[in-house]
Structure 1
Amino acid sequence: MDTFNFQLPDDPSPDMLATAQLGGAVSQLAAAVESLHQQHLQLRRIVEQAHSTGASRTGMRELPWPLRWRNLNRPAAAQTWAWLIDWVGWFVDRYHLTEEIPACWPQHPPLVDELTALAAAWHSCYDDNAHPDGPLLWHERLTRARDRLREWDDYNRCRNGTHSARPRDLTWADGWHASAIEAANNDLTGRTEPVASEQP
């Protein structure tokens, strides 16, 4: 669309020439923006179609990313909680794990991290582009994870619908961080500085 399509006189003034050039540039920019808009709409349709296909294939929420609980803001954490609760409910029922994973698992950060890792690996190994032996490897890792879950349950004893908080006598003393920094500084004091050629 060329909205500045007009004939210049034989001897145009500099202002008229500049206006004509500007008009041509605006027309090119408008055409480029329209092309980008159409590409965006097409990409959006593709993503929405892929998302709906994935949801119907697994029957579960898609894998959110990133999964670093420590760094998630409120909206990202809300999305990740919804995904994880959905998956853990399916996982416990599918593999009959009510004796190994207590119902209060969301109140225990170590269990949240363990189950997040298992869920992420499960989603990845059953992805359309995953290697064919991915599901087998996931089940082998599940066996090791179940050992860790049993050990954790023996320690906490959250069973039969009861929740036990972490024993206070098994927490570190308040000054542990300062002591750790002091130990690190003592170690660094005895180390040599790199020579110029070793520096990155």
Structure 2
Amino acid sequence: MTVPGAEVERRLRAAETDIAELRTHTTDITDAVGSLAESVKVLTKRSSRPTGGGGSEAEPTAWALRATDDDWAALADWVDGLLTTYELSECVAPCWPSHGGVVEELAALRSAWRAAAAKSAEEDDDAMSFWHDRALYPTITRIMSTFYPINGCRNGHRTSETVRPTDRRTIALANPSKGCPSWPSR
């Protein structure tokens, strides 16, 4: 049985349309696989962090203890830019990396800034205004207060006092489950 020329043309156009649709679907699938691969990479990185106490959830770790050399460089660059942009060089001494609490404050401030900047880029909102009001100025105020010994570093770095460890013998005395008189009963 011979197929007439018009029928061959119709089948050829239908095949070309099917091929074009397959190409579109293939591109969509390739994009989805790339997105999934990126998600797997992020989740793998998170799950490879050590867990505390044998549990499935990782024990929180200070930024300074988990930061890579690149993380430190990025934070230093960001802090330098922050101090320049907001003219805050008198507020944060250049030895800030030697002061653990200040490092954690600035790392958290940068993290909040990144989240606010990303949100503001996605939608027209007040995330950056909120960051200035609720993150930037309170953080700088804490760093400048006597709460951190960095304020004694205006003329060069000074080391902090030796930390006095917790007196572990007092824990049993203060434990509310043991009937500690310092805690009101329920």
Instruction: Tell me the TM-score normalized by structure 2.
Output: 0.56
Aligned equivalent of 1:158: 153
- Distance in 1 of aligned mates of 2:147 and 2:178: 42
Aligned equivalent of 2:122: 129
What is the CA RMSD across the aligned residues, in angstroms? 3.3
Q: 1:190 aligned to 2:185?
A: no
Cα separation, partners in 2 of 1:83 and 1:180, compared to 1, 3 Å: farther
How far residue 188 of structure 1 moved from its aligned partner, in angstroms, is 1.7
- Distance in 1 of aligned mates of 2:128 and 2:87: 18
State which of 123, 131, 135 in structure 2 corresponds to 1:138. Answer: 131
- Distance in 2 of aligned mates of 1:167 and 1:80: 27
The gaps in structure 1 that reach 5 residues or longer are 1-34, 48-65, 192-200
How far residue 149 of structure 1 moved from its aligned partner, in angstroms, is 1.7
**Amino acid across the alignment from 1:165:** T
1:121-176 CA distance string (max 9 Å, x none): 1111111336610010111122222211210488441113x0011123xx32x4x2
Alignment of 1:49-88 (within 5 A): 68-69=62-63, 72=66, 76-88=67-79
- Distance in 2 of aligned mates of 1:183 and 1:108: 33
**Amino acid across the alignment from 2:30:** Q
1:15-54 CA distance string (max 9 Å, x none): xxxxxxxxxxxxxxxxxxxx8xx8389627x97xxxxxxx
Say if 2:102 and 2:148, in contact at 8 Å, map to a contact too: no
How far residue 77 of structure 1 moved from its aligned partner, in angstroms, is 2.7
Aligned equivalent of 1:26: none
The gaps in structure 2 that reach 5 residues or longer are 1-25, 39-59, 181-186
Instruction: Tell me the TM-score normalized by structure 1.
Output: 0.52
How far residue 70 of structure 1 moved from its aligned partner, in angstroms, is 6.4
Say if 2:64 and 2:104, in contact at 8 Å, map to a contact too: no
How far residue 183 of structure 1 moved from its aligned partner, in angstroms, is 3.4
How far residue 113 of structure 1 moved from its aligned partner, in angstroms, is 0.7
What SS is found at the alignment partner of 1:101? coil
Q: 1:111 aligned to 2:95?
A: no
- Distance in 1 of aligned mates of 2:178 and 2:127: 47
Aligned equivalent of 1:179: 169
1:75-114 CA distance string (max 9 Å, x none): x432321221121111111111111100000000011011
How far residue 189 of structure 1 moved from its aligned partner, in angstroms, is 2.0
Cα separation, partners in 2 of 1:126 and 1:84, compared to 1, 3 Å: same
Cα separation, partners in 2 of 1:130 and 1:178, compared to 1, 3 Å: farther
**Amino acid across the alignment from 2:176:** D
What SS is found at the alignment partner of 2:91? coil
Cα separation, partners in 2 of 1:81 and 1:183, compared to 1, 3 Å: farther
